[in-house]
Structure 1
């Protein structure tokens, strides 16, 4: 589009036509350049099976084009209309315990339902045929927040689809039995027809079955997107395609989904009550930027202020909406959009803030929107630029799923907790990083951090080993390299695939009790450790930190031309900060900018340096050379930047 897209979900069907003209006037005044339309319009454009009313939507699209506003056009299939589930009740999804979900909310469909897919693709074909040449059409928005409310279905239709998926994966039932270790607990299958989804059972479900069902569920939901994508590609081959992800979880394999999109979109809702929410948001932005190898992404939804779905819904502090929007841009976003344009009068999200609140445009909330829109429109040259980072943090979806299955040494070991624990020290030190897959090319990074890689294939383990052998620096944390792709333990002593590169063997896991803290010393600093400890036998590694009983807590191993560190516990944040900076410095990694006040984030994106003051007080930043703030037109180059509370500067 040649600029940072700015706008939000536009739902004019919720309002009488006399409001639509005001919408266009206000959008022009707010520098709105793109809106998402039609997301939940299925029941209105097809009020009865096979009967269509696109007249009102034609008017919406025409209004947008006349006012120079691009449409991120939804396929309208995010929630089936009530008539569809009444006519085909088998569409309704089923939980693991057999409970059937009902209409009245959203996403009430089984992704394996032939009836749902047939009616969805029929609708998409009509929409694509009708609007493929419309001047407002800029982007296809398939579905909406897939898997957010229905991440899996356990009905009989899903069971049969699961069997089909398993036949394609394993070919023979003997191969499935081997992968699933079905000799345990007399679970051997004689025919694929005997296999079910991991429904509610008297004891633990088979972990390999659970892992494969998670893979299947992600693929099956993706199949819904692919069915619609095929129609869109046929009719509009040159219009890019996206879908917006709701946060991120192990339900949908983001890396696999991103392969099928032209651009990744994400809905971001940090918690205003959390003083460190921007750190977790930063991690999320890096995850989504990494999904397509560093390509810019679209912030498709955020809240101007409060949301409606938490137990306590905090309003954003003055300046916080602008600050968090610019943080997204600094970390790769080429669009800043909201849910939604005009705040709903009724429905479940009526208390979710909007670009035009219930009180109307004469409000601070709307004035802040107008100011941000103008600001973003003033710097189109940022679009398309990318960071160039020296550090990668590894995240693998299959490992994430397997790590959080039951019957493990400690249920406290969780993937996002581990990821954030190792990401936060880098963020705090203003060391920018990419979030990558273990299957990615790692050779360009000075440091690779592996917070946890419980499940790893032999190929990926060798790739990480080769990275160190070739001169890379690796920091790996505990309970990694434990099982293969089928959740079967790698034999030969933990962590078998990494024993050589780490120079050690883990003899016993010793998880800690809730609240238990072990004194620990790492790289000359003392502190506390929680969550986990291990008994380690050295096989060439050097001890760099110990528990108070003298056993190793941190090791360093020289391997080939590189170095591998291994951390056998979870240090407290201050100690992990010290360790992370110590390892990064020895890998030759430098922060984006040195000498920054605490709470000020620096991020580079191409030729642009972003300074973001996450403090509720002013901060002064010293630069290494004079620079000009693009957000302060007419200002002279300076060696110092004065940031107001929650202030932002964009420097060339």
Structure 2
């Protein structure tokens, strides 16, 4: 076996805090005691083969004591206004046919997840057969496979006032991995999106598209990679366009208002600057519960008996501060709001 990274002091405890903060109700460590025989001799444990209680043991012990002391809080409701749809059929479709050497399904999910996580927006990660009604914002990264029952739920969600965010390669193939003759992409979504995909392009390592901000995003420019859908708008407005003499009349990012809701389409793998700007607009207009914190400090709000508490986690090797709390490297705390 190859031995990997050793979590720094407090780091494994901090990760454990993170799990509980997001709703984990039962947590176990692998493994309790290191083995002296077999293939997993070097999967070190809370106690190693020397059988001596040392730092790792006392760190785990302190974690469980702190969770026991806050048991009622750990069992409180986890409320999320945003959901990210992690679609296994779409992931499988890209595995069969990547369409770009740069395509990584998990990375594209993270591209859309990251700017909301950065603002400490609590999010659920759900499959496409879940109930969407309880959320304000629905994130649908690279959901290339379209299914009628899911599309019906998305339409209902938007009609009820919700905000949906699509990215490129949305609704291209059906459940059997086939294209639909006679339909523009995104298939059966063009009225919802307020436009359709006119041209497509796959990028390689050294290729990027230049994106130019429009209207309220004027002055915000950036790059995009992996793939691009170039959109011809019908009812949507263009938030970003491509700086491209051949395709300058086609949109990169659009927003369509549809029956009381809003539909965004992000047509390429946009960089962090652009994704942050789009996310901030959605956060503000959807009145999401954003919490400002230093880079690398994660904050999760939980409520008990009408009082708010924060799970605060320092993911860095530096000392950080959240409001009046000092956090050592990789330290986690529960603090009252």
TM over 0.5: yes
CA contact (8 A) 2:146 2:171 kept: yes
Please state how far the C-alpha of 1:499 moved relative to its aligned partner.
0.5
Moved more, 529-538 or 376-385: 376-385
Which position in structure 1 is the counterpart of 2:104?
Answer: 414
Please state how far the C-alpha of 1:583 moved relative to its aligned partner.
2.2
Distance 1:358 1:511 in 2: 52
User: Per the alignment, do residues 552 and 387 of structure 1 end up closer, same or farther by CA in structure 2, a change over 3 Å counting?
Assistant: same
* Among candidates 429, 432, 439, match of residue 122 of structure 2: 432
SS at match of 2:227: coil
**Is 1:532 equivalent to 2:222 in the alignment?**
no
Which position in structure 2 is the counterpart of 1:645?
Answer: 329
**Is 1:497 equivalent to 2:198 in the alignment?**
no
Please show how residues 115-514 of structure 1 align to structure 2 within 5 Å: 313-406=4-97, 408-491=98-181, 492-514=183-205
* Among candidates 259, 266, 282, match of residue 560 of structure 1: 259
SS at match of 2:76: coil
**Is 1:573 equivalent to 2:272 in the alignment?**
yes
For residues 260-319 of structure 1, the C-alpha deviation after alignment (integer angstroms, 9 at most, x for no partner) is xxxxxxxxxxxxxxxxxxxxxxxxxxxxxxxxxxxxxxxxxxxxxxxx5xx561111111
CA contact (8 A) 2:320 2:326 kept: yes
| Higher normalized strand content (fraction of residues) | 2
Distance 1:517 1:418 in 2: 16
CA contact (8 A) 2:146 2:187 kept: no
Please state how far the C-alpha of 1:362 moved relative to its aligned partner.
4.0
Please state how far the C-alpha of 1:584 moved relative to its aligned partner.
2.3
For residues 204-226 of structure 1, the C-alpha deviation after alignment (integer angstroms, 9 at most, x for no partner) is xxxxxxxxxxxxxxxxxxxxxxx
Distance 1:494 1:363 in 2: 59
Which position in structure 1 is the counterpart of 2:318?
Answer: 617
CA contact (8 A) 1:415 1:452 kept: yes
Residue segments in structure 1 that go unaligned for 5+ positions in a row: 1-307, 623-639
Distance 2:109 2:126 in 1: 12
Please state how far the C-alpha of 1:534 moved relative to its aligned partner.
2.3
Distance 1:497 1:477 in 2: 15
CA contact (8 A) 1:458 1:484 kept: no
CA contact (8 A) 2:101 2:204 kept: no
Higher relative contact order (CA 8 A, sep 6+): 2
Distance 2:289 2:21 in 1: 18
Larger radius of gyration: 1
Please state how far the C-alpha of 1:385 moved relative to its aligned partner.
2.1
CA contact (8 A) 2:34 2:47 kept: yes
Distance 2:73 2:38 in 1: 38
CA contact (8 A) 1:512 1:532 kept: yes
Which position in structure 1 is the counterpart of 2:300?
Answer: 603
Distance 1:376 1:431 in 2: 23
Residue segments in structure 2 that go unaligned for 5+ positions in a row: none
CA contact (8 A) 1:512 1:530 kept: yes
SS at match of 1:505: strand
Give me the TM-score of the superposition, normalised by structure 1: 0.48
CA contact (8 A) 2:102 2:204 kept: no
Distance 1:312 1:353 in 2: 9
Aligned length: 323
CA contact (8 A) 2:3 2:42 kept: no
Distance 2:31 2:311 in 1: 27
* Among candidates 250, 262, 284, match of residue 585 of structure 1: 284
CA contact (8 A) 1:447 1:472 kept: yes
CA contact (8 A) 1:446 1:588 kept: no
